Amino acid sequence: MTAMVVQASGRMQKLIGWALVLGSAMVWANVIFAVLIAKVIPETGVELLDAVKHDRYYCYLVPLLLPTLVIFRYWSWLSMQFFQHC
Among 5-9, 19-23, 32-36, 63-67, name the most confident range: 19-23
Q: How many distinct structural domains can be found in the chain? A: 1
Closest CA to 59 of 30, 85, 86: 30
CA distance 33 to 10: 35
Percent of the chain at pLDDT above 90?
A: 34
Selected residue with higher pLDDT from 54 and 9: 54
Selected residue with higher pLDDT from 23 and 4: 23
CA distance 18 to 61: 26
What mean pLDDT comes out for the span 64-81? 91
CB under 8 Å to 33, separation ≥6 — which residues?
52
> For residue 52, what are the domain limits?
2-85
Whether the predicted pLDDT of 57 surpasses 90: no
Type of residue numbered 85: H
